[in-house]
Amino acid sequence: MVQLLSPEGDFSVPKQYAEYGKYIERLNEDDFLKFYRDMARCRRFDNEATALQRQGQLGLWIPAIGQEAAQIGSGYGVGKNDHIFPSYREHGVAITHGIELMSILKMLRGVNHGGWNPEETRFHLYAIVLGSQVLHATGYAMGVKFDGKVATAIKDENLAVITYFGDGATAEGDVSEALLFAANTQSPLVFFCQNNQWAISSPTTSQTRVPLYERGAGFGVPGIRIDGNDVLASYAVTAKHMDDAREGAGPSLIEALTYRIGAHTTSDDPTKYRTDEEVAYWTARDPLKRFEIFLRRQGISDDFFDEVAEAGEKLAAEIREATFALKTPEIEDMFKHVYSEPHPVIDEQLDWLKRYEASFGGEN
Amino acid sequence: MSKIAYFNLPDVGEGLTEAEIVSWKVKPGDTVTVNQVIVEIETAKSLVELPCPFAGVISELMAAEGDTVEVGKPIISATVADDAVGATVAQAETAAAVHQAVADVAASSAAAEERTPNLVGYGVADPNGPVRRKRAATPVSTNTSAITAIPAAAAAAGHLAVPTHPDTQVLAKPPIRKLAADLGVDLGKVTPTGLNGDITREDVMGMAQQASVFRNLSTPAAPTAREERIPVKGVRKAIANAMVSSAFTAPHVSIFVDVDATRTMEYVKRLKASTDFAGTKVTPLLIMAKAMMWAVRRNPMVNATFTAEEIIVHNFVNFGIAAATPRGLIVPNIKDADKMSMLELAQAIEQLAATAREGKTTPADMKDGTITITNIGVFGVDTGTPILNPGEVAIVALGSLRPKPWVVNNEIQVRQVTTIGATFDHRVVDGDVASRFVQDVASVIEEPALLLD
Amino acid sequence: MGNFVEMPIAKAINAGLRKALSEDSKVLIFGQDVAQLGGVFRVTEGIHAEFGDSRIFNSPIAESGIVGTAIGLAMRGYRPVAEIQFEGFIFPAFDQITTQLAKMQNRSEGHHPMPVVIRVPFGGGIGAVEHHSESPEAYFAHTPGLRVVSPSNPNDAYWMIQQAIRSTDPVLFFEPKRRYWQKGQVNLDTPPQDLHSARVLREGTDVTIATYGPMVHTSLQAAEVAATEGVSIEVIDLRSISPIDFPTIIESVKKTGRLITVSEAPNSFSIASELSARITEECFYHLQAPVLRVGGFDIPYPAAKLEEVYLPDADRILEAVDRSRAY
C-alpha cells in the first residue's frame, strides 16, 4: 500500500515509491495549503449539509466525511484536459474542479438532477445507478483514443479519463464489463476505487474475496493500493497514473483504502451494523488531522488554521442562506431536454398541463 | 426587532411520517446557536439528533419527551432576529394567538397554494382529510391530437370546438349508435345537437318513427303536362261514395285531447326488448289499439252501428286500421281483436299492414268493422278530423309523437306528447260519452298500466 | 426521380449504413461479430473491408458494456450505431438503455445529446430456438427519452437507418428479421424524411389496420384476401412506434370507423394497447366498433413447431376484421 504520510503525520518516501515521491517534490507550500483548505472546506460543507437535511431543507445528504484526502488528493492529480466520471459521493473532487457547491445541494433538495455543465467542468454528473458511470467513462476514453488524443507529441492536447466508484460498486457487472472493454482497447482510463469499507451495511469482505486492487488483473488492468487517508499519496499516485494513461500506458486501477466515517446517507443508521470502536479507530486516522500535524511541522502557524476555520463558518452561513432561498422549479423544466429534437407527445402534454393548472382558482 | 420562529419536525429518512421525542437537549430560556443539537428523536429507521435551524432564545418546547409527533408539526419555538433565516416563521404575538397560529398552519396546509411540503416523504396527510382545488373552467379536454386542437375561444367558452368533417361519417357515441340501430333510425338523417357535433340520445328518440305501414314518399319531379285526368272508377269511386254517404248522413263531431305519451313510448321500448316480442313489430299503434278496446269496454256505445230502426251495440271489436295503398285508402279490420293477447294483436297488425301493402286485402277483410283508427302521425301531422268509416260511429286519429315541454310535478320537462283526435256520430254518441271515451284512451296512453285492469 | 435498385431489407440497411459512414466521420458501428463476419444476418457485410477498424469493430459479448460505452462515445462526440445481436439478448443492456441512455439528455439539461442508434433484429417466424423470436418494443416505447422505429420494407429501411443516425436522440431500430431477405425497390436517392411518419400503404374504406415491422406484409396479404370478399381495408405502416403518428391513423379511422392493430408482440400491455386507448379517446364519436388487437398470446414465445400457430397470420387478421364488422 502506497503511503507517504503516516497517520502520525510523518512524511517519508519508501524506495519502491520513489517515482511517486518525485510528484511531491514538485509541489510547493501553496500547493500543500491548497490541499488542506480544500479538505477543510469539503468537511465543513459536508457537516453543514447534514445539518440542513436534519432541518428538513434537503431530502437527503450523502456524507463524504473521512474521504477528503482520497478525493482532494486525486482530484488535484487529474490533468487540465482530463475528464472525470464520479459516482455520487465525490464532493471533494467536485471542489477541486470548481463545481459550485450549491449545484450539489440543488440535486439533493430535488431542484434538478445535477445541473452543472459536464463538458465545461470536465466533471460529469453524479451517477446514482452504481457502476453505470464506469462504462460511460470507458466509452469516453475509447473515444479519446479514436480521436488520437493519447501519447501525441503535443502533450497539451493529450487527455485521459478517471472514473470513481466504491467498493460496493465493484460487484456490479458494469464495472467488470468496463474493465474488459478498457483493457481490450487499451484506452486511457484510470479506475479509482474508493474503498471506504462499507456499502451501506455490507462490509467490503462481502463484495470481494480478493483485495480490490487485484480486481483488474483478471481483465488485464494493473492495480495498486494506496492509503486513501494520505492526501499526498492520493495526489502523487493519481497524477502519475493519469500521466501514464495520457502517454498510452492503457488503463489502470487505484484502490484508495479509506473509511466512511459518516453514514451511507442521512437515511442510514450505522449504529445498527458497526461498532463504535471501529469508528473511533478510523476517526483517529482522520486525513485532516494528520495533514495538519504535517503542516505544523512545516512551520504553518495557528493563523492559517484559524483563517481556514473562519472561512468554513462563512461558507456554512452562505450555504444555509442560499439553500433556504432555493425556489421550486417551473413546471416546464420537467419537459425540457427529454428529447433534443421536437416530439409531439412532449408538446401535447406540457400544453395540457398548463391548461389544467390554469383551470384552477375559480369561484365554485 | 425579533419574531417567533418554529421548527417543524422534518422527514429525516426518505418517507418517514413520524418520530418520537427521546430527549430534549435545551429548555425554554436557553440561548441557542445555529446547528446546536437541541433534541434527539427516534424514527422507524434510527436515533437522530436534530440541529437547530436558527439562532435565538427558546420560547417553548412544543412536545414532551415520549411524545410521538407527526412530520411537519412544530416541535419548538424560539425568539429570533427579524432577518433570521430558517424554518416556519410567524409574527410575535400573545401566547394564545401563537398557538392558534400553529394550529392554523397545520390546518391550512391543504388549501394554501404556498404549502411547502417536507421534501422527500412530504410529511403526513392533511388532518382535515382530502380536499379538492377549486376549478374555474369546465374539464380540460383529454383530446390532445393536433387534428382536433382546441381553439382558444372555444376552450374558454367551456366546450370543445366542433371539428370539421370533410368526410361523410356521422358522429355518435357507441351507445347512441346501438339505440339508433334498435329503433331503426338512420343516423344519416338525424340532425345532431350534441356539443361535439354528435347525435344525442334525444336526437335519436325524436326521430324514432311509430309503426309505419306507409312508405315515405319523396318529392316527385314537377309534371310537364298542365293537368292530369284520373277517371273516377273502381276503388276511387267506392271510396268517394262511402265518404259522401258517411259525411253527409251522420252528424260528425270531433274532439281532441293532448296527452303525455312518454310512458307509452317506454312501454313500447320494453316490449321491443322482450324476448316474447322478438321478431314482431311493436309500435305505439299497438298500445293505442289496446287503449281503444279498453275504452270501448267502459263506453260501449262507441262500438255500435246506426240503422234507421235500431242502434246495434257490438259486443266484439273488429278493429279497423286505415291503410293507404297505392290504389287508395282502405280500412281492413282485425276480427275479434278484443279477444287477442298483446302479442297476437301485434302480429295481426303487422299482418294486416303487410297484406295491404301487397294489395292483397280481400273484401271480407274490409267488412264488418266496428271501430277504426287512422294513423296520421306517421305523416308528421299533429291531429285531424277523420271521417267515419260507414257503419261505424267512432274513429280515432293517432297524431305525431313529439318531444314537447310538459308540466310534471310542477316543473317543465321535455316529454313525448301526442294529440288524440276522435270523430263521433252524434246520432249515437253524445258529448259526454265521446269525451269519456277519448279521456279513457288518453288515460291509457298516459299510463299504460291501466291496461292491467 | 430516383435511383432505383432492387434489394432485400438486409442489403438496404447495409447500403444506408455505408452512406451514413461516408457522410459523417463520427459514425461508428460496433457489436458482436459485425466486422469480419458482417453480422450474423450479414447486415454489415463488407463494411469492415471498406471502412476498417477505426469505423466498425467487434465488441465483447457484453451487452451492457456495448450500450454503456456507446453512451461514453456519444459524450465524446461520436455517433455510435450499436448492434444487439438478437432482441432476446437486449436485456443485459436494459439498465443502460432505460436509466442512462434514455435519461442522459434530461439529466444533463441538454449538455449531453445522445445520438446513439441501437440496431436490433426482432420478431419471429424463422424457426429459431428460445430468445431469438421476440418482440420487446413495448418496454422501450414505454420509456420516456427513447425513440423507437421499425422499417417494414427495403426502401424504408434504407432511409430510416440514415435518419435514425442523424437524430440527436437515442433511437431503438428494430429490424424485422423474418423479412431481412424480402426484396423490394429501393430509391438510393431518397431525401431525408420525417423519421416518425406513418404511411398509408393501401387505401380502403371499411376497416383500418395499423401495424408495423414484420406484420406489415401479413396485413397487406389479409387486405388482398378481404378485397376478394368485398371488404375494403386500409393498411397503415406505423414505421415509428414511439412516437406514433396519430394524425395519420386518426384521419383513417374517421373515414372507416373501425381499427384493428396487428403485431407479433403479446397483446396485453402492448403498442396495440396504446393505439387502442388513444384512438378510443380521439375518435370516440367516429368508432363503429371497439379497437381490436391482433397479436401474440400472453405466453413466452413458443418452441418453433408451434410458432405458426402463435404468430398472427392473414386468417387471424381477417377473423378480427369479421368481428369488427359485426358490431
pLDDT at B120 over 50: no
Phi/psi of residue C62, nearest 5 degrees: -155, 90
Taking CA atoms, what residue in C is nearest to B192?
A: C285
Q: Are A78 and A234 in contact (CB under 8 A)?
A: no
Substitution target in C258, C285, C292 with the highest count of B β-carbons within 10 Å is C285
CA distances (Å), origin B48, targets A59, A263, B60 = 15, 12, 21
pLDDT tens-digit map of B339-348: 999 999 999 9
Catalytic-role residue among A273, A281, A339, A356: A273
Q: Note whether A294 and A28 are within 8 A (CB).
A: no
Cβ–Cβ < 8 Å for C235, C223: yes
| HSE value, Cβ hemisphere, 13 Å, CA-based, for A192 | 36
Average pLDDT over residues C40-51: 96
Verify whether the Cβ–Cβ distance A60 to B86 is below 8 Å: no
Q: Determine the residue of chain C that is closest to B172 in CA distance.
A: C285
- The answer to whether A138 contacts chain C (CB < 8 Å) is yes
Confidence band for B44, pLDDT divided at 50, 70 and 90? confident
Taking a contact as any Cβ pair under 8 Å apart, which residues of chain A between 299 and 358 contact chain C? 336-341, 343-345
Other beta carbons within 10 Å of C54? 10
DSSP annotation of C178: G
Partner-chain contact C111 A113, CB within 8 Å: no
Q: Would you place residue B111 in the very low, low, confident or very high pLDDT band (cuts 50, 70, 90)?
A: very low
Give C300's DSSP letter.
P
* Long-range CB pairs of B286-289, under 8 A, 24+ apart, other chains included: B286/B211, B286/B342, B286/B345, B286/B346, B286/B349, B287/B444, B287/B445, B287/B448, B288/B373, B288/B396, B288/B398, B288/B441, B288/B445, B289/B319, B289/B321, B289/B337, B289/B345, B289/B349, B289/B373
The answer to whether residue B103 scores a pLDDT higher than 50 is no
> Residues of chain B whose C-beta is under 8 A from some C-beta in A?
7-14, 34-35, 45-53, 85-87, 118-121, 133-137, 140, 142, 144-146, 155
* Interval B139-184: pLDDT, tens: 555 544 433 333 333 333 333 333 333 345 688 888 888 888 877 7
The three-class DSSP label of residue A52 is: helix
A344 touches chain B (CB under 8 A): yes
Q: How confident is the model at residue B126 (pLDDT cuts 50, 70, 90)?
A: low
Q: What are phi and psi of B424, to 5 degrees?
A: -130, 155
Say yes or no to pLDDT of A2 above 60. Answer: yes
Chains contacting C (3 or more CB pairs within 8 Å):
A, B
Residue C204 touches partner B, C-beta closer than 8 Å: no
C69–A129 C-beta distance less than 8 A: no
What pLDDT digit, counting tens, does each position of B283-333 carry?
899 999 999 999 999 999 999 999 889 999 999 999 999 988 777 788 999
User: Would strands C207-211 and C233-237 be described as parallel, antiparallel, or unpaired?
Assistant: parallel
Can you give the pLDDT at residue B278?
Answer: 81
Residue tagged active-site, from B99, B159, B252, B426: B426
* Residues of C that are catalytic: 132
E strands present in chain A: 83-85, 161-166, 189-195, 198-199, 202-203, 223-227, 252-257
- The pLDDT, as a whole number, for residue B125 is 52
C251-277 mean pLDDT? 97
pTM: predicted TM-score of the whole model, two decimal places: 0.75
Please state whether C41 falls in left (phi above 0), alpha (psi between -120 and 50) or beta: alpha
| The residue type at C280 | T
Nearest to C281 among B143, B172, B198 (CB): B143
- Does A327 contact chain B (CB < 8 Å)? no
Neighbour tally for C308: CB within 10 Å:
12
Using DSSP's 3-state secondary structure scheme, residue B221 falls into: coil
Query: So what's the pLDDT on residue B119?
Result: 46
From start to end of B274-431, where are the E strands? 304-306, 311-313, 319-321, 323-325, 328-330, 333-334, 371-375, 394-398, 402-408, 411-425
The per-residue pLDDT for B198 is: 86
Residue C233 above 50 pLDDT? Answer: yes
CA distance B161 to chain A (A): 16
Q: CA B430, CA B394: separation in Å to the nearest integer?
A: 11
Inter-CA distances, C197 with A139, B297, C36, C238, Å: 32, 74, 35, 7
For residue B231, the model assigns a pLDDT of 80
With a cut of 80, say whether residue B217 has pLDDT above it: no
- For the stretch A257-285, pLDDT in tens is 999 999 999 999 999 999 999 999 999 99
Which residues from chain C sit within 8 angstroms of residue B197, using beta carbons? Answer: 285
Q: Do A324 and B85 touch (CB under 8 A)?
A: yes
- CB-based contact B86 A55, cutoff 8 Å: yes
Residue B216: pLDDT above 60? no
Cell readout for B274 is: 322482450
In the three-class reduction of DSSP (H, G, I as helix; E, B as strand; rest coil), residue B76 is classed as strand
* Three-state secondary structure readout of B265-302: HHHHHHHHHCHHHCCCCCCHHHHHHHHHHHHHHHCHHH
Q: Which amino acid type is present at position B332?
A: P
pLDDT at A304 over 90: yes
A319 touches chain B (CB under 8 A): no
Structure confidence by residue, pLDDT tens digits, A151-165: 999 989 999 999 999
What is the per-residue pLDDT for B139?
A: 58
Looking at residues C36-61, what average pLDDT do you find? 96
Contact between chains at A139 and C76 (C-beta distance less than 8 A): yes
Q: Is it the case that residue A133 has pLDDT exceeding 60?
A: yes
Residue B284 buriedness (CB in 10 A; 0-12 / 13-18 / 19+): buried
**Which chain A residues have a beta carbon less than 8 Å from that of C65?**
135, 138, 174, 177-178, 180-181
Share of chain C above pLDDT 90, in %: 97
- Is the pLDDT reported for residue B10 higher than 80? yes
Q: Give the pLDDT confidence score for residue A216 in this predicted structure.
A: 97
CB B296 within 8 A of CB B410: no
Residue of A nearest to C57 (CA): A185
Contact between B286 and B345 under an 8 Å Cβ cutoff? The reply is yes
Q: What is the CA radius of gyration of chain B?
A: 41
Q: Where are the beta strands (DSSP E) in B362-410?
A: 371-375, 394-398, 402-408
Give Cα C20 to chain centroid, integer Å.
Answer: 19
**A54:B50 CB<8 A:** yes
Q: What is the pLDDT of residue B210?
A: 38
Q: B14 and A60 in contact by Cβ < 8 A?
A: yes
C94 touches chain A (CB under 8 A): no
Residue B256: exposure state from Cβ atoms within 10 A (0-12, 13-18, ≥19): middle
Average pLDDT, chain A: 95
Choose, out of A84, A88, A337, A352, the residue to mutate when testing the contact with C (most C CBs < 10 Å).
A337
Q: Which residues of C touch A178 (CB under 8 A)?
A: 65, 68-69
Residue C46: pLDDT above 60?
Answer: yes
> What Cα–Cα distance (Å) separates residue C171 from each residue in A341, B371, C69, C116?
12, 81, 16, 6
Task: Tell me, yes or no, if B159 is annotated catalytic.
Answer: no
Task: Give tens-digit pLDDT for C127-180.
Answer: 999 999 999 999 999 999 999 999 999 999 999 999 999 999 999 999 999 999
Instruction: State residue B121's pLDDT score.
Output: 46
For residue C48, pLDDT over 80 is answered with yes
Percent pLDDT > 90 in chain A is: 95
Test B14 with A321 for CB contact under 8 angstroms: no
Per-residue confidence band for C250, with pLDDT thresholds at 50, 70 and 90: very high
User: For residue A140, what pLDDT is reported?
Assistant: 98
Average pLDDT, chain B: 80
> Residue B276 has what pLDDT?
84
Chain B, nearest residue to A363 by Cα: B136
Q: What is the CA radius of gyration of chain C?
A: 19
Q: With CB atoms and an 8 Å threshold, state whether B46 touches A355.
A: no
Do residues C87 and C121 touch, judged by C-beta distance below 8 A?
A: yes
The predicted structure's pLDDT at residue B158 = 33
- Average pLDDT in the C90-116 region? 97
Mutate to test the interface with B, among A45, A46, A54, A360 (most CBs of B within 10 A): A54
- Interchain CB distance below 8 Å, A180 and C65: yes
In the predicted structure, residue C207 carries a pLDDT above the cut 60: yes
For residue C309, is pLDDT > 90? yes
Residue B425, SS3 per DSSP: strand
Chain A residue numbers touching B33 (CB-CB < 8 A): none
- What are phi and psi for residue A105, nearest 5 degrees? -70, -35
User: How far is the alpha carbon of C148 from chain B, nearest alpha carbon, in Å?
Assistant: 20
Per-residue burial over B34-63, b = 16 or more CB atoms within 10 Å of its CB, e = otherwise: bbeebbbbebebbebebbbbbbbebbbbbb
Q: What is the mean pLDDT of residues C288-306?
A: 95
Q: Does C255 touch chain B (CB under 8 A)?
A: yes
Alpha-carbon distance A54 to A48, whole Å? Answer: 10
C193 touches A at CB < 8 Å: no
pLDDT at A279: 96
Q: CB-hemisphere CA count at 13 Å for B307?
A: 4
Residue tagged 470513481 (cell numbers): A164
- Give partners of B (≥3 CB pairs < 8 A): A, C
**Contact call for B119 and A267, based on CB within 8 A:** no
Closest chain A residue by Cα to residue C93: A174
The answer, yes or no, to whether residue C320 has pLDDT greater than 50, is yes
Cell output for C28: 461508428
**B34, B54, B88, B114: which to substitute to probe chain A, counting the most A Cβ within 10 Å?**
B34
- Residues in A touching C78 (Cβ below 8 Å): 143, 146
